[in-house]
Structure 1
Amino acid sequence: MGLVGKLEAEILILAPADKFHEVWGGRPHHMSTVTPGRVQKVHLHEGAWGKVGSVIEWSYVLDGKSQAVKQIVEVIDKENKTVTFKLIEGDPMKEYKSFKATVQTISKGEATWVHWTFEYEKLNKEIAAPVKLLGFVIHMSEDLDDHLIQA
């Protein structure tokens, strides 16, 4: 088993692609309100909300454990509704040498798809692929979808 990996998941949502992308690309701090059982706090460490190069710190609960991660916003592509985050510090970095997460919102006719991609390099071969973390962001996406369609 290799140290470098890629995981992808895609879900169908009911919210408009633009609204979903707007939260991830410009207002991720709203996720603590949208999904308080999963995300406790989203703090802007440096930069500005919705700007490439900004550093964002997340406090969240995964598998009943409080965790934190700091990330740099690498890409905000409004046309393709894509946001890419590079993880730089925190709990996931105890197991991964590098880790990027990309979320893309895709309109296909009446449907809206959310596509998550994780690209990572594990510190050693005994470390599992980040399947639980991928499930976590899928659940966050479902919570955001529920929030947006109720608004």
Structure 2
Amino acid sequence: MALKVKLETEVEVKVPADKAFSIFRSQIHQLPNIASHMVHKAEIHEGDWEAVGSIKSWTYTVEGNVLSLKEMVEKIDEENKSITYKVADGDALKLYKSMKVTIQATAKNDGNSFLKYIIDYEKVKENAPDPHPYLEFGARVIKQVETHLLKA
């Protein structure tokens, strides 16, 4: 049986944690506008853009490949400024039996913040690659969110 594994990266951004978290918490539908070369399309299937249990579909590019997935908002923790999405369907599940992405914003004393991008996953096969390209994708999206918020 495959082990569940966790990958994470932390990205420092020059915006307050509240502002950064708000993009992922309540304005995630803006990602195709914020990072159009990486996130191409977002659609709601069930619920809305903010509620736990809501299901959305995405078209995105990882390592030059245009892919798609459906994800469900699994958990929102306002106090700790974190949100967890569970991949419900799509290209990522060809390699991973399960995958969850958590984004957490933490304030720094200087008004900036750190955003953690965490991937919890289980491989379909032992020899499947780790999802490092998805981790890099997440870090690049976070930097695009930073650029967007600095312009606002």
Which amino acid letter does the alignment assign opposite residue 84 of structure 1? T
Provide the alpha-carbon RMSD of the alignment: 1.0
**Is 1:141 aligned to residue 147 of structure 2?**
no
Contact 1:3 1:124 in 2 (8 A): no
TM-score of the aligned structures, taking structure 2 as reference length: 0.95
SS in 1 for 2:87: strand
- Residue by residue over 1:41-84, the C-alpha shift from the partner in whole angstroms, topping out at 9 and shown as x without a partner, is 11111101111110011101111111001011011122111000
- TM-score, with structure 1 as normaliser: 0.96
The one-character-per-residue Cα deviations of 1:95-127 (angstroms, maximum 9, x if unpaired) are 111111100000021130001111100011111
What does residue 26 of structure 1 align with? 26
Structure 2: state its 5+ residue gaps.
none
2:122 alignment counterpart: 121
Identity %: 34
Deviation at 1:4, TM superposition (A): 2.3
Q: Any gaps of 5 or more consecutive residues in structure 1?
A: none
CA–CA distance in structure 2, aligned partners of residues 65 and 11 of structure 1: 24
Return structure 1 stretches of 4+ with deviation > 4 angstroms. none
Aligned residues: 150
Q: Is 1:14–1:145's contact at 8 Å kept on the other side of the alignment?
A: yes
